[in-house]
Amino acid sequence: MVKKITIAIDAMGGENAPDKTVEGIGIFLKKNKNINDFQLNIFGNQKKIDEKLKNLNISSPLIKIIHTESTVSDEETPLAAIKNSKNTSMWNCIKSQLDQESDISLSAGNTGVLLVISRMILKMMNEVSKPALAGLWPNKKGINVVLDLGANIECNEDNLADFAELGSALYRSLYPKEQPLVSLLNVGSEEIKGTEVLKKTYKKLSSLSNENNFIFKGYIEGNKITEGDSNVIVTDGFTGNIALKTAEGTAKFITDNLKKSLSENILSKLSLIFSYFSLKRFKNKLDPRKYNGAIFLGLNGPVVKSHGGTDAIGFYHSINLCYNIVKGNLMQQIKKNLDHLKSE
Amino acid sequence: MVKKITIAIDAMGGENAPDKTVEGIGIFLKKNKNINDFQLNIFGNQKKIDEKLKNLNISSPLIKIIHTESTVSDEETPLAAIKNSKNTSMWNCIKSQLDQESDISLSAGNTGVLLVISRMILKMMNEVSKPALAGLWPNKKGINVVLDLGANIECNEDNLADFAELGSALYRSLYPKEQPLVSLLNVGSEEIKGTEVLKKTYKKLSSLSNENNFIFKGYIEGNKITEGDSNVIVTDGFTGNIALKTAEGTAKFITDNLKKSLSENILSKLSLIFSYFSLKRFKNKLDPRKYNGAIFLGLNGPVVKSHGGTDAIGFYHSINLCYNIVKGNLMQQIKKNLDHLKSE
């Protein structure tokens, strides 16, 4: 028997938990009813989870509920969490990875606490200088992995080189047939541009560039991220966080304006009848729920953070992401890349 | 006689110059045919400019051409420009401010060279620690001034406090009836978030906050820039450049996808008949040409940089911006704000 892909899910994190998370689990089971190479270990309040499962008429031999009494609150600071979070759904979820009962963890709970306790429990990989939070971002040709998105406010060239290796490994686990193409986010594409740290990283990545690993494409400017000429965008956590959130805000601003324009009068409303399916496909392609899930990389096991405010569909997409990451052998890809880094 | 608002225009900068720039001047003259409180001093190749003016049937007592033999090329590095750019259209344009022949300069030429020679010729104001490049960015309620957009890769708390004063002065010159509301771009809205420099700037701006000057609204995250709860967004040039370009790229990515979706089949094309005017208003509101023009602040005279790739309409908007800046007494507003800073 082949070992099953086991996903540990914190059912109690995020808004409207566990309703939303259980509904997301239901969607995942429905969409994957023809396969059974996975198992979902659900951590949280057994009674509440059972109720919701019953409500939604979900029953499957592929799910197992592990009861926990307490939950990490959204107001908890990471510092307080070290004391208070033991035996919460989030804690036990990640702990199950350490006990080799699961391959990956997923939570929509408090980000700061999740990063801190993941690191405490799983520990950083020996070869990594700093862990990073990676996100998925659509581009013209497919998907970008962007990292770091905020785990590390300040980074040096060794950290950024690690991020390139970790991000490439993630990309390869998700798209095994594609070549990771790494770019370094900067204010210009010429070699002389940017901070000293970026210039040193440029040199480092140039020497690491290699088909078995990743191809380094040089600097990239913010307006080229969506072009698709690279697929792994490396930056420090401060810049990455600002870039991601600015992109989110801009996308929302534009689509809000579009919605307003298309519902402003009877003619424009009429047009919606004809453009309904086209606009639906447009909306679907750019639906942020499809890209829900930031991946915490560099620990002895991957942890996925779902957006706290997402709905069941968004949560389903992050379960799917967990499944694909484990199926694509992320941890082996990372080890391979880090061995390469060590041998440099 | 009231002194005229005199705008020095480098006609030779950017793609398709001087055709585009002269056409932009034509639009400005046409739109302002009922006023005559301005004068446009046009620097560049007299023959080429005259030809284009004749082609477009433009003639006005409000324009004056000042011939220059040479032009700053787009390939010129700022360092080489110090030697080579003397008596180019860009140089003489800015020089005319020093000679008090004009109130403001406008160029669509090489950005790096423009920043360097503006600073060389006009010199930094005594009270300013670093000059900044400010841009205009639409939000839900109106316009944001965002600075720095790339003049300074690394900034300390004194620089960022100066940017708050300069940006507020610009905002007040453009919108005299509004209160400048300053926010500091960061990865979270809580006081404990961000780098040491940001925490120090937070304190500084809190103590400077004052109705005569600006109201400090605290930290702002990237996704809130377009909300309109602030109107002056302060950041270092590295982060500002990445944020601006990422927003540009995202906007382009979304509108390209929308265009594609709305022209993919006969039904969606049919819908365009009904939504034509609504989509046109949508497009018009978000037209980047309307926000064309970055303002170089902190020198003894304002310099406006038009996007090199913009068209005549974009160039017209940056002439208009120059007019509004001088009419709103930017330099007096800056001096007022800096006096306040000194008295702290």
Concatenated DSSP letters of A76-138: --HHHHHHH-TTBHHHHHHHHHHTTS-SEEEE-S-HHHHHHHHHHHH-B-TT-SS-EEEEEEE
What pLDDT does residue B342 have?
66
Q: Are A187 and B153 a contacting pair at CB < 8 A?
A: yes
The DSSP code for A209 is: -
Same domain, residue pair A13 and A112: yes
Instruction: Name the least confident of B175-184, B205-214, B248-257, B267-276.
Output: B267-276
What pLDDT does residue A274 have?
67
Q: What percent of chain B lies above the pLDDT cut of 90? A: 74
Q: Is residue A90 part of a domain?
A: yes
Q: Is residue A323 part of a domain?
A: no
What pLDDT does residue B55 have?
95
Q: Is residue B166 part of a domain?
A: yes
Q: Is residue A343 part of a domain?
A: no
Same domain, residue pair A36 and A109: yes
A247 closest CB neighbour out of B250, B255, B258: B250
Same domain, residue pair B77 and B185: no
Whether B131 has a pLDDT exceeding 80, the answer reads yes
What pLDDT does residue A75 have?
81
Mutation for A interface: B271, B284, B286, B307, most A CBs within 10 A? B271
What pLDDT does residue A43 have?
97
Same domain, residue pair B101 and B196: no
Same domain, residue pair B157 and B225: yes
A278 closest CB neighbour out of B256, B261, B286: B261
Give the H/E segment covering residue A63: strand A63-67
Same domain, residue pair B275 and B157: yes
**End-of-domain residue from the set B241, B260, B288:** B288
Question: Predicted confidence band at B199 (pLDDT cuts at 50, 70, 90)?
Answer: very high
What pLDDT does residue B168 have?
97
Same domain, residue pair A41 and A105: yes
Chain A residues within 8 A of B245 when measuring between CB atoms = 221-224
Predicted model pTM: 0.90
Answer for the pair B108, B310: CB distance below 8 angstroms, yes or no: yes
Average pLDDT for B264-288: 74
Q: Measured between alpha carbons, how far is A56 from A20 in angstroms, rounded to an integer? A: 11
R_g (Cα) of chain A, nearest Å: 21
The number of C-beta contacts closer than 8 angstroms across A and B is: 189
Same domain, residue pair B43 and B120: yes
Looking up residue A88, the CATH number of its domain turns out to be: 3.40.718.10
Q: Are A278 and B286 a contacting pair at CB < 8 A?
A: no
Q: Is residue B342 part of a domain?
A: no
Burial class of residue A171, CB neighbours in 10 A (0-12, 13-18, 19+): buried
Same domain, residue pair B273 and B316: no
Whether B1 has a pLDDT exceeding 60, the answer reads no
Q: Is residue B255 part of a domain?
A: yes
Q: Give how far B87 is from chain A: nearest CA, Å.
A: 28
Instruction: Name the least confident of A37-46, B14-23, B73-82.
Output: B73-82
What pLDDT does residue A68 have?
95
Whether B94 has a pLDDT exceeding 90, the answer reads yes
What pLDDT does residue A1 have?
47
Same domain, residue pair A133 and A264: yes
Average pLDDT for B263-267: 74
Chain B residues within 8 A of A197 when measuring between CB atoms = none
Select the more confidently predicted residue: A131 or B263: A131
Regions of chain A with pLDDT less than 70: 1-2, 270, 273-274, 341-344
Q: Is residue A49 part of a domain?
A: yes
Q: Is residue A335 part of a domain?
A: no
* Main-chain dihedrals φ then ψ at residue A299, nearest 5 degrees: -95, 170
User: Domains in chain B: how many in total?
Assistant: 2
Q: How does the average pLDDT of chain B come out, rounded?
A: 91
Q: For A35-88, write each residue's pLDDT tens digit.
A: 999 999 999 999 999 999 999 999 999 999 999 998 888 887 877 877 888 899
Same domain, residue pair A58 and A82: yes
Same domain, residue pair A175 and A287: yes
A194 closest CB neighbour out of B153, B226, B252: B153
- What is the domain range of residue A179? 129-291
Edge-to-edge strands, sheet with A5-10: A63-67, A38-44, A5-10, A104-107, A303-305, A294-297, A132-138, A143-147, A232-234, A181-185, A215-220
What pLDDT does residue B343 have?
64
